[in-house]
Every structure is written in structure tokens, then in C-alpha cells.
Amino acid sequence: FLCDAEKDFIVSLASMSAKERIKAIQKLPETMTKKREIRNKVLNEITKQWRHRGAEPSCWTQSVQGAGVSFRRFGNTISEYFHLLQMWHKALKIIGAEFGTSVLSYFVFLRWLLYFNIFSFLINFGFITVPQFLAAEPNNLSFTGLELLTGAGYFQQTVLYYGFYTNATISKIENGPSYNMQLAYIFTVGIYFVICFLILLFSMAKSFCRNFLNPEAYTVRASKLLCTWDFHITNEKAVKLKQKNLSTQIKEDLTEVNREVIDFSVMQRILRLAVHLLAWVACLGAAVAACTGVYFLSINNLKLFMKGHRNYLESQAAMLVLPVVASLLNTLIPFFFSWLGHLERFQTPGQHIYVTITRNIILKMSIVGILCYYWLNVVATSESQCWETLVGQDIYRLVLVDFIFCLLGSFFGEFLRRIIGTTIYVSLGLPEFDIARNVLDLIYAQTLTWIGILFSPLLPGIQMIAFFIVFSVKEVSLLRNCQPPCKVWRTAQMKTSFMFLLFCPSFLGVLSVIGVTVWRLKPSEGCGPFRGLPSMYAAVSEWIRILQSYTASKWVVWIYHNLITSELFFFILSSIVLIVTYLYWQIIQGRKTMTKLLHNQINN
């Protein structure tokens, strides 16, 4: 039997519309089991009211209402399970509670890149690799195992590389539908990069609006203390984890509010400026020296490769020299940058991280730029039978060796550092997680993957596996070897910065490399889907020439000549984008002003 208060509540819910009733039940501070009980009681009350009025609903009404209830139940169940199936959902909660949002932002970014590569792999595998299986010839090369490290040998005659793909039109049924591999290859890669461009823009805009333009960012501190608790949580471990997470977030907010601005004297400012200048000179000098070494090593490595080697093992070892040296420089020099950052003694941890990220991005993108120059100007003009496959093998080795060095960096930089700090030099203590170095490792690896997609379509699948292992290893290393940051600080804008660095210079630089390869370079004569053509883009021009003879395809030809190949169209489009960007920036400034006024009113 229900008490009077509960009866009245059930009757009031029954008198509402279905939408209002659902919202009212969702807002109740009760467990899901209790909410389901209340919903069932409300449905029983509605049925009683119908019977009392003597107006039984029609069969059609009952069917529609039953279908609606079933659909809502199914949707709620799917949303609950989808929330639970998110990769490392519990791990991210633990990391956020133990180490704060600064370290959490790295793992969130890594998971986002993993999803990104899963999407890339599915597109390339579905539209390029699967059709090639239908026209593939048997591989007569032997597999020794070393190919897993070098990417050469047996893998040369597989779908892993550009040179294996046919330039023929695939058709397994006589007089049936055919599949043009040339168009499939270039359109899949082209549309993929367009989708990547839109996804990155949308992700940056979403993150920017949430972290920079949201007025609630200034009022959320009180709501975290008073209104944030989730009454659905009943498990004791989940309650403690939620308490710790809220405690860490409140500490970060209080640190930001109570941050002191140190007033240095003129002499102290001059000394600090001199230290910063010397540190920047040392960083730029290290980057220039690394790029010079990589360039001369790559030239010498190509000469040795073209001459040949005495035996098989020697040739396999020679292939690994360039990726090992490049990865060694990308691993050791960032440790030097981090050490310089500690000597500079920045006022806030955020300044230290952003400066270190800037130095690392200069180093890594410079090395990538040197490698791209080597591939497009030296390898592409060499006497190799299939220079695209050579480039794909180089990128495969760079991705694999970089992944190995990333794992070794966790071992030497965190595990051994913990052993030393707890047994030999106890004053050192436990190490802190180096956000700047680890984030730039991810951006560097993703940049190589984007460049390699044209030369090795399945490279996103390899990077997908690598990111999965990196997340697991980094998570274990963080929880076992590292300590939380000594200075707690709030990093709401950190993920936005990561997205921006991934977009520029990484993604925009990759677009430049792909554009030069597709429009300017001549494909190899004896391999790949574009063999015999003056450029990869010539396949599209030839396709448009064929379409001109078909009346039904005139609109495609018109779009190609008047939009895609028109400089005026892109000039107008660029002008519109600039105008929209300017107006959007003005709106941002206006919202920032309003947000500051709101913040001042709240403080007053």
C-alpha cells in the first residue's frame, strides 16, 4: 500500500504528458531501480484511470503506446551499455582522480587518436584492400620473421604497400559491375583527408567553445561543491572514486583562484630572460643538429641500399639504421628539453608544459620535414623500380621503431627512475608524468601515419594496435611508477591545444606532402595503380574525359571544370571562410567580454 504523499506524487505524474513525466522521473534523486518502480506504478495508475472512466484505449493506441515504451526502454538500455563499453572508461576515472586533469588530458587525447585510426583503417580496408584481394596474385616470397621489423621481403608482395595494388579494373563477373582501382585509390585517400579535415575542425571548435567560451566555467566552482554529486552511485568503491575526483577538481580550481603573481626586480627579470634565451638557443641548436644528422644519414643510407649488400642480414640491419637514429634523437632530445625547463623555473606548471611542447614540436616536425624532403626529392627521383614502396617501407619502420622507443621511454624514464628515486637517491622521489614529451610522441606518430596512408594503406591498422598497447603500458606505468603533480593546476584548455597542434602544423603539413605527391611527382612505371601515368591526379583527368561522352554525367564534368579546377571558385570560397572567421572571432570577443562581466558580478 502506498502512503498518501506517494499516492499524490504518482497521481501528479500520471496527469502529465509522456515527455514531462519522463523528465520528472529522470530528475529524481533515486537509483535506477527505484525510478523503474515509480514508472511502473505511474503506468498502472494511468491504466486504472482509463478503466475507471470506462474508456478503454483502442487496439491501435495500445500498440503505439506499447511500441513507444519499448523503444524508450531499448534506447535507454543501449545508451547505458554504450557508456559502459567506452574504452578504458573506468581507467580514465581513476587517472583523473589520482593525477588530475593535466595527466588525464593525455590519455583522453590518446583514446581519441585510437578511435581516429580505427575509422581510418576501416575506410582504407573496405574500399582499397578488400577489392585488391579479388585480383591479388599468390606471394612466392618466403617469410623469415625479420620482415616484422623491416617491413621488407615478404611484405613487398602484400596489400601492405602501394606497389602491390593493380592498375586494372576489377571484375569477377563477366558483363557485371567493375571496380576501377585507380579511382578507388585516389578518391578513398582524398575523401578520407577531407573527412579528417572536417573532424579536426569540428573537434577543435567543440573543445574551444566548451573550454574558452562557456560562461559556466566561472560559476562551476560553486556547483561542483553543492550540485555535482550523482545520487545514482551506490557502490562503495565508486563513491570513494567520485569523492576523490571531486576533491582533485576543487583543488585545481582553488589553485587557479589563489595563484600568486610574483613581482620580480629588474635584475631578476634580466637574469630570467638570459636563462630563457640560452635555453632556447640550446634547444634550437639541438634541433638543427638532429635534422642535419638525419638528412646526411638518409642520403648515405639510400646510396648503400642502391649498391646492395653482401648478405641478407646485413641488408636488413642497414634498413633499420635511419629509423633507429631518428627515433633515438626523438626520444633523448625531449629529455634534454625537459631538463632545461626545470632549470628555467617557470612560475606555473602550465608555462613549463606549453614551452616544452613548443620546443618538441619544432624538433619533431623539423625531422619529419627533412624526411619528407628526402622521400619526395631523393627517393622519388632515384633509379628504384618502385619508389612508393620504398617510402612506405621507410614509414613502416619509423612507426614501428618509434613505438618500441616509446615503450622503452616508459621503462627507462619512469620505471628505472622510480627504482633510482626510491632506493639509491631517495631525495629524488618518484617521477612525474611528462605530459609534453608524451603528447608530442603521439602527434609525431600520427603525422607519420597520415603521410604513409598513400604509400601503405593499412598503416592506420598498425598504428591502431600500437596506440592500444601504448595506452595500456602508459596506464600501468603511471599508476605504479609516477606521483601526482607537485603543483595541482587546472588544464581546461589542454585538449584544445593538443587538437590545434595536431591540426597545425601536423595535418596541414601532411596535406602539403600529399598534394605534391599526387599532383607533381611521376608514379613508378612498373608498380602501383597509377603506373604509366604522368601523375596520380591524371587518373581523375582521364576519368573526366571519358565522362564527357555520356550525357547523364554532364553535371559531373561541369562541377569539375567550373568548381574543382577553377581558381576563382577557391578564391571566393577562401574569402567567405575569412569573412566567417572574422565574424566568428568578433562573436568570441563579445562573449569573452560578457563572460568577464558575469565573472566580476559573481565575485562582487
326-358 confidence digits (pLDDT tens): 999 998 898 898 888 888 877 777 778 888 888
Q: Please give the full DSSP string across 365-415, using - where no structure is assigned.
A: HHHHHHHHHHIIIIITTSS-S-HHHHHHHHHHHHHHHHHHHHHHHHIIIII
Residue 499's pLDDT band (boundaries 50, 70, 90)? confident
Three-state DSSP state, 589: helix
169 φ, ψ (degrees, to nearest 5) = -90, 120
Q: How far lies 371's CA from each of 125, 224, 297, 333, in Å?
A: 26, 49, 11, 18
Reduce the DSSP state of residue 268 to 3 states and report it.
helix
Rounded-to-integer distance, Cα 156 and Cα 158, Å: 6
- Please tell me whether residue 179 adopts helix, strand or coil conformation: strand
Partners of residue 319 on adjacent β-strands: none
Residue 425 is given by DSSP the state -
Distance CA 548, CA 557 (A): 7
Instruction: Produce one character per residue of 432-465: b if its CB has 16 or more CB atoms within 10 Å, e if not.
Output: bbbbbbbbbbbbbbbbbbbbbbbbbbbbbbbbbe
Cβ atoms of 432 and 483 within 8 Å: the answer is yes
Residue 233 DSSP one-character state: -
Strand partners, 179: 170
Lowest mean pLDDT among 272-281, 435-444, 567-576: 567-576
What is the per-residue pLDDT across 55-91, written as a single tens digit (0 to 9) for each? Answer: 555 566 666 666 666 666 665 555 555 555 466 777 8
Q: What is the pLDDT of residue 501?
A: 86
242 closest CA partner among 223, 226, 224, 229: 229
End-to-end CA distance of the chain: 52
- In 3D, which of 483, 496, 500 has the Cα closest to residue 100? 483
Cell numbers standing for residue 374: 628526402
Highest mean pLDDT among 172-186, 203-217, 261-275, 514-528: 514-528
Residue 149: pLDDT over 80: yes
pLDDT at 54 over 70: no
Burial of 329 (0-12, 13-18, 19+ CB in 10 A): buried
Where residue 465 falls among pLDDT bands split at 50, 70, 90? Answer: very high
If you write DSSP's letter for every residue of 297-340 in order, what string do you get? HHHHHHHHHHH--SSHHHHHHHHTHHHHHHHHHHHHHHHHHHHH
Work out the pLDDT band at 218, boundaries 50, 70, 90: very low
Specify the amino acid at residue 538.
A
Per-residue pLDDT at 598 exceeds 80: no
CA distance 10 to 25: 10
Helix (H) or strand (E) holding 44: helix 32-53
pLDDT score of 142: 81
**pLDDT number for residue 324:** 92
- Residues 141-154 as b or e (16 or more Cβ within 10 Å = b): eeeeebbebbbbbb
What is the rounded CA–CA span in Å between residue 113 and residue 7? 52
562-596 residue pLDDT tens: 877 777 877 887 788 778 767 766 666 666 566 55
Please give the pLDDT value at position 53: 59
